[in-house]
């Protein structure tokens, strides 16, 4: 949503030569009525609301773009943009996989951070440490007698 709002503000301030996050959806975005801050904010708010995800079904940015374009008939469209709109891919057939829920990401990250705070086990309590010093007098038996 913030990226769409940025695109609207960039178009209002820099025109069509502005670098956009979604250059393929230039024709869908609302235009500010003037270059005043209030008009740009209102247009950015409209763009952010138009691309809110639908909670009842999975939606992609292309379906949100189609919803917005059907509700805004005053947006000027060139023939090339209209042709691109008809060739938009439908939602993919691959199901959505929430990897954060699958791996319980908040707990995983917390335990990884906790692991960084724990001191390593003491080497003098039976731990083995191989030093690079060749003058070490430690004899290690690989096999028991």
pLDDT digit string (tens) for 4-29? 888 888 888 888 788 888 777 777 78
Neighbours of 39 (CB within 10 A): 14
pLDDT at 32 over 60: yes
pLDDT tens-digit readout, 42-85 = 888 888 888 777 755 444 444 444 444 444 444 444 445 444 44
Domain ranges of the chain: 2-86
The per-residue pLDDT of the chain, averaged, comes to 70
With beta carbons less than 8 A apart as the criterion, state whether 51 and 4 touch: yes
Dist. CA 81–CA 26, nearest whole Å: 9
Which pLDDT score is estimated for 47?
84
The per-residue b/e assignment along 69-98, b for 16 or more CB within 10 angstroms, e otherwise, is: beeeeeeeeeeebeeebeeeeeeeeeeeee
């Amino acid at each position: 949503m913030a990226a769409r709002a940025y695109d609207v503000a960039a178009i209002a301030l820099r025109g069509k030569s502005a670098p956009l996050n979604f250059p393929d959806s230039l024709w869908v975005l609302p235009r500010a009525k003037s270059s005043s801050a209030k008009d740009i904010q209102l247009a950015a708010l409209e763009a952010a609301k138009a691309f809110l995800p639908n909670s009842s079904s999975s939606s992609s940015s292309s379906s949100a773009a189609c919803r917005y374009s059907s509700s805004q008939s005053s947006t000027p469209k060139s023939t090339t943009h209209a042709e691109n709109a008809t060739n938009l891919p439908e939602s993919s057939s691959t199901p959505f996989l929430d990897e954060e829920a699958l791996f319980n990401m908040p707990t995983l990250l917390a335990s990884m951070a906790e692991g960084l705070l724990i001191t390593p086990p003491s080497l003098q309590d039976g731990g083995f440490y191989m030093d690079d010093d060749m003058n070490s007098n430690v004899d290690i038996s690989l096999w028991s007698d």
